[in-house]
Amino acid sequence: MKLVHYLWYMIVIVDYKMGNLGSITNIIKKIGYTSIITSDIDVIQNASKIILPGVGSFDKAMFNMKELNLLDVLNQKALVDRIPILGICLGMQLLTNSSEEGHQKGLGWIDAETIKFKLDDYPTLKVPHMGWNEVTFPQPHFLCEDYHETPRFYFVHSYHVVCKHKENILMETTHGYEFTCGIVKENIMGVQFHPEKSHKFGMNLFKNFIEKC
């Protein structure tokens, strides 16, 4: 029972009232682990791994996190305790300084900006970018290991991240032009796609995040 109790608190999915969080906890359960969805500060303080998901607008997400008094505990866990943190979709964008989608400051943990797709030169392509894309890994990292075929992930987004430093670029793909779809800085990681909707490739990514950090 003690082991189960420990695992239950180890992986925390932060609930700031944006997005379908159940699909993330379900895929984590499928690979053999247990997680908790919460906005409880005391529980987040006890986390040894944090997942920051999200679907929706950048400003609303930052507003909700402030209203729920989550910023201090998240900054503590990311920057002081330095536990592994994974941002997904909007959650990845929140790791950056700001977004063209709104006016709120982001978490600023990774020196990057979030911008809207600019597809004037690609009139046949649509925004939002939706569907499956192959992803490449420009640098070695444990999140990028153990894919036995070219990884493909499911995307739904209108904005993407531009890193100011090459070493923060973890994954890339193409929608008209090449863009960054995975970022990293030490213990902080983010992916633009939805691994929870990406079948075996997403399961492998979560497995890497849980077991190799």
21 burial type by CB count under 10 A (0-12 exposed, 13-18 middle, 19+ buried): buried
User: Strand 159-163 relative to strand 11-14: parallel, antiparallel, unpaired?
Assistant: unpaired
Phi, psi of 130 (to 5 degrees): -130, 135
- Cα(92)–Cα(137) distance, rounded to whole angstroms? 17
194 labelled catalytic: yes
Residue for token digits 């911008």? 115
Helices (H), 46-166: 58-67, 71-75, 90-93
Active site residue 89: yes
Collect all residues with Cβ–Cβ distance below 8 Å to 167 and sequence separation of at least 6. 139
SS3 content of the chain, % helix, strand, coil (to 5): 35, 30, 40
* Assigned token pair, 69: 């008094």
Q: Which one of the listed residues 89, 144, 163, 181 is annotated catalytic? A: 89
Determine how many CB atoms are found less than 10 A away from the CB of residue 4. 8
Exactly one of 103, 134, 194, 211 is catalytic; which is it?
194
Residue in 5, 196, 199, 213 annotated catalytic = 196
Q: Let me know if 213 is a catalytic residue.
A: no
Catalytic residues: 89, 194, 196
